[in-house]
Amino acid sequence: MSARSIFSLLDRVGWTKLRHARFLVAGLGGLGSQAAYYLAAAGVGKIGLVDFDVVHPSNLQRQIYYRAGDVGRLKAEVLAGRLAELNPEVDVEPYNVKLSRDNGLEAVGRYDLVVDGTDNYPARYLLSDACVIMNRPYVFGSIYKFFGQVSVLSSQGGPCYRCLYPKPPPPGTVPSCADGGVLGPLPGVVGCIQAWEAVKVFLGFGRPLIGRLLVMDLAAMDFAEIPISRNPECPACGENPTIQELQDYDIFCGINPTPSEKEISPLEVKNMIAHGEDVLLVDVRDAVEREICRIEGSIHIPVDRIWEMLDALLEHEKVVLYCHRGVISRMVSEILREMGYGNIWSMKGGIEGWAETVDPSTPVY
C-alpha cells in the first residue's frame, strides 16, 4: 500500500475509528508519558493512565511532561491534566493504582489495546498475560542506557512476552532507568515508536512489529530487527495454555518482599558512624553523580574499579556501599558476599534514601 493510499484510508475511515479507540497506557514514566501524549495528539478517543507513583525530582530530565511544580503529585493525575490541555476532546481516565492479579484483567478488558511503559518484570508479565487472556494487543517497549526495544505482542497470532522472555532474570540484576542511567531523548524515541505501533495495529494498516523485535542502539544510531515467533509450548499463548488467570508476579519473578539481610538502612549507617564503629562508607556511583552530592566521610570507588580494591576493603570491620537508589550497590554486595566477603553491605535506598531519612539537605537528582 502506497503512502498516498494509506493517508487516503486514514482520511476516510481511520480518524473516525481512532476517535472511538480505547487505549490503556500502563506506567507513566519516560515511555508511557511520551506515548500517551502523542496518542492524545493523534485523537485517540479514550486513554486510560495507570500509575500509582508520584513525580520525583529525578524524573524530570527524561519525563518531560512533568514540571518541577509537580513533584510529589500523582503521575496519573498530572498527566491527565496535561492531555486534557493538549486535546480537550480526549476522554482521559487516570488510575492511581498498582496493577495486580486482582484488578489486571478488569483494567485491560476495558480497553482495545495496552501500551506498556513499565520498567519492571512483574508488571510486564502481568500485562502480557492479561492481554493474552483478554485477547488484546500488547505494545511492549523497554530502555536501558542507550538501548531500546519495541514489539507488538499478543496480536494476530504472534508471540507474547513469555515467548520472547520465558523466564525473568534473577532479581536485582537489571537496574531501573534511574539506576541504570537513561538520558531523556531515548525514552522519547521509544515512546513515540510505541504510540505509532499502537495506532498502526489498531487501524490495521502498514506493517506493525508483530513477530519482530525492533532493537535500537542510539549511541551508534543502529536499528535492527530480530524475528520472534510464537512458542507452541508457551504456557500463556501456546497450543495448550495453562495460564488461565493472573498470578502473583512478584513471586514468579523471585522478588522477596522482606528486607535483604545484605542491606542496612541509612539510619543504621548514621548510628554506626556516630558511635565510632569501624565502618567504611563507599560511594560506587560514577564521578558525575558524586559531584552532584555525596555523604560526608565516604570514599569514592566506582563500581567498575571496586574489584581492584577488595584487599583494602577487608581492612575494615564493615564496608557499606551506596549508589543512587540502592540497586547497583545491592547487586555488587551480593556478588562480593557470595565470593566470601562477609563484611560488605549495601545501604538501602542509596543516597536518595539518605536524603529522605537522614539529611534532607542532600541534593536529590
Query: What is the pLDDT at residue 95?
Result: 95
Which residues are tagged catalytic?
177, 323
Q: What is the CATH number of domain 3-252?
A: 3.40.50.720
Q: Quote the CA–CA distance of 229 and 350 in Å, as a whole number.
A: 40
Q: Tens-digit pLDDT profile for the chain (365 aa)?
A: 444 454 555 666 677 889 999 999 999 999 999 999 999 999 999 999 999 888 888 788 889 999 999 988 999 999 999 999 999 999 999 999 989 999 999 999 999 999 999 988 999 999 999 999 999 999 999 998 889 999 999 999 999 999 999 988 776 556 555 555 566 788 999 999 999 999 999 999 889 999 999 999 988 999 999 999 999 999 999 999 999 999 988 888 876 544 456 789 999 999 998 988 889 999 999 888 899 899 999 999 998 888 888 877 778 889 999 999 888 898 888 888 877 788 899 999 999 999 999 998 998 87
Note if the pTM is more than 0.85.
no
Domain boundaries, given as residue ranges, for the chain: 3-252, 263-357
3-state secondary structure of 362: coil
Strands 299-300 and 279-283: parallel
3-state secondary structure of 282: strand
| CATH 3.40.250.10 for domain 263-357 | yes
Q: Sign of torsion, CA 24 27 28 31? A: negative
Query: What is the pLDDT at residue 312?
Result: 78
**CA torsion, points 11, 14, 19, 25, in degrees to nearest 10?**
-130
Q: Quote the CA–CA distance of 112 and 96 in Å, as a whole number.
A: 20
Q: Quote the CA–CA distance of 207 and 263 in Å, as a whole number.
A: 48
Query: What is the pLDDT at residue 12?
Result: 62
Domains 3-252 and 263-357 are alike in CATH topology: no
Query: What is the pLDDT at residue 258?
Result: 45
DSSP bridge pairs for 140: 151
- Give the residue carrying C-alpha cell 541534593: 363
Q: Quote the CA–CA distance of 22 and 362 in Å, as a whole number.
A: 43
Q: Quote the CA–CA distance of 113 and 199 in Å, as a whole number.
A: 10
Sort 365 into a burial class: Cβ within 10 Å, 0-12 / 13-18 / 19+: middle
